[in-house]
Structures are given as structure tokens and as C-alpha cells.
Amino acid sequence: MALLEVEDLKVHYPVRGGLFRPKRFVRAVDGVSFRMEPGETVGLVGESGCGKSTLGKALVRLEKPAAGRVLLNGLDMSTLRGRELRRARKNFQMIFQDPYGSLNPRLTVFSALDEVLALHFPLTKAERRERAAKLLDRVGLSAGALDRYPHEFSGGQRQRIGIARALAAEPALIVADEPVSALDVSVQAAIINLLEDIRRETGTAFLFIAHDLAVVEHISSRILVMYLGRVVESAPSRELVARPFHPYTKALLSAVPTIDASGKPRIVLPGDVPSPLDPPAGCPFHPRCPVARERCRSEVPPLASPDGTARLCSCFYASEADL
């Protein structure tokens, strides 16, 4: 059984249309489907505003889906309420992008960890403190940090505390939303290596959200590429980087810095990502696509395999990958 199954998930935000105008919707996530296996790390990439973070929050019930289903170990998360939902939250946690804003400045590190431990485990306070110390040790911090406040730590240290808090519930899945984008490059490497070690040692699955394809390739076994609320390509990491099928994926990869001076020229896409309030008809990428044809302007290409393998691509001309 898959650990996570996402079926046609949609997150739409209503926008008031005025007295004589119909209500409109921002289609932040617009029909996303994928699955994850236990212990797998899946990368989720795309430009800012494509719906990555909204999708991650919807998976952990921090955003309410407009339609679709999220199944965790076969359990439909959308049907859970109250005590059932609190019990289920033990199995999925989130690491947030901002290490400065994700911790309550009025709580000590122990208090932040103790909230999770007291909710999910029948332990005495002394036992919870001992476990909190072990969690800090696991992320490279000493037990002396337990009685300190968030403002006393650097950004990298705060993110380690956030990781310890996510691990405290012993979840099966952690959604890591841009966990290194606010950190210095040297600190980024340490955090990524820490997450890899945790996955190997605990079997925890990670959905790693980022806009940096080089980082995602390093940590993920499989990559999903999002554009305007939809997944446009899904493939094993090495295969996607070696031979992308979708024109948007090719553009993202061409923007990754390389020391190879003989590499392919950078693909510069015209314009910006269209508004999810008023997405274009047909393929959502066609206004910026360098190989768009007439069919692309009127039909939405399905997310399907262009070569008979497990790779998926939402492009009518994906089989012509060398275009």
C-alpha cells in the first residue's frame, strides 16, 4: 500500500466579484494527483506562485481542499474531524520555510517540543524532557538548548529545532516547505544532509518543496514539476535531469548554474506565470511555451506517459523531447 495517495486535489480561494459580478476563484492547486511510498523522498519544484506551498499545506490539513482526496495509509484525511484528526496528525508533520517565524518566541525549546510529546505520548514530564534532549541531539544541538528561547539561536539552529519538533511525533511523512531557502549556502548543505540521514535511519518519507532544482535533484529519488497549480512532469530525478520532456522543465534546468561552459544555452521564457485567477485556456503553459502549437491553445494535455514507462508528462508533444 502507498503511504500517500493524492487524487485530483484542488485548492481554490474565492474572490469577491462585486455587486453584479459573479464570484471568481484563485485556482492555487488545480487537479493534482500523485502517490508516495514509505521512506521515499519526492521533490516538488516550480516557480514562485505555482502552488507548491499551498499543496504542501493541503496535505497536512493546514489548507482546506475544494475537491479531491488525500489518503494517508489508506485513510481519507478529508473526512477526519476533532479527536480523529489530532490522532492522525501524529503521522504527518511539516517543516516550514521561515525558521524565524515558525517558532513561538514566548516558548522555550522544551515547551515547543513538549507540546507535541504531551499530545501524542503517555509520558511523564521527566520522560518527555529526556526524549526532547534526545531529539535535539539527533539534530545536532545540545540538551542545554532546552531552556533557551528562539531569539537566542541562529537561523540554521532554529531550523534544526523545527526539524526536531517535526520528528517528535515520529511521523511517517514530513512535508518540508522550502526548509533551506532562508539559510546561508553552507548551512543549507548541513540541513539537507541532516534530512537525508533522518530518512535513512527512521524510514520517514519526505515531500521536499523547493524552487532550486539542483538541491531537489540531490535529495530526491523522484521529482514533480508544478506549473500554475498543476503537475506537468513527474520522473525519477536522474532521468528528469538527464532528459526532461516538458518545455517548462527544460527551462527550469537551463537556469541551474553549471561550470560546464559548453552546456546548452539558457532558455528564457517570455512573460510571467499567468494569474491563477484567470488561467489561459488549453495548456496552461502555452502562452510562454517555445514549441506551442494550435492544439495547445484549446486543449489541456493529460498527465500521461509519453514513452510507456513510469514517467509522466502533461504535453501533447512530449514524445518529441528533443524539440
pLDDT of 321 higher than 90: no
Residue-level pLDDT at 254: 87
Express each pLDDT in 175-217 by its tens digit. 999 998 878 887 888 899 999 999 999 999 999 999 888 889 9
Phi, psi for residue 224 in degrees, rounded to 5: -110, 135
| CATH number corresponding to 4-220 | 3.40.50.300
* pTM value > 0.85: yes
Residue-level pLDDT at 145: 95
Mean pLDDT lowest for which of 45-54, 110-119, 255-264? 255-264
130: which residues sit within 8 A by CB, 6+ positions away?
A: none
Residue-level pLDDT at 265: 75
**Three-state SS string across the chain, please?**
CCCEEEEEEEEEEEECCCCCCCCEEEEEEEEEEEEECCCCEEEEECCCCCCHHHHHHHHCCCCCCCEEEEEECCEEHHHCCHHHHHHHHHHEEEECCCCCCCCCCCCCHHHHHHHHHHHHCCCCHHHHHHHHHHHHHHCCCCHHHHHCCHHHCCHHHHHHHHHHHHHCCCCCEEEEECCCCCCCHHHHHHHHHHHHHHHHHHCCEEEEECCCHHHHHHHCCEEEEEECCEEEEEEEHHHHHHCCCCHHHHHHHHCCCCCCCCCCCCCCCCCCCCCCCCCCCCCCCCCCCCCCCHHHHCCCCCCECCCCCCCEECCCCCCCCCC
Q: Domain limits of the chain?
A: 4-220, 241-323
Mean pLDDT over each residue of the chain, to the nearest integer:
90
At 80, the pLDDT band (50, 70, 90 cuts) reads confident
The cell 527551462 sits on which residue?
A: 251
pLDDT of 90 higher than 60: yes
pLDDT of 261 higher than 60: no
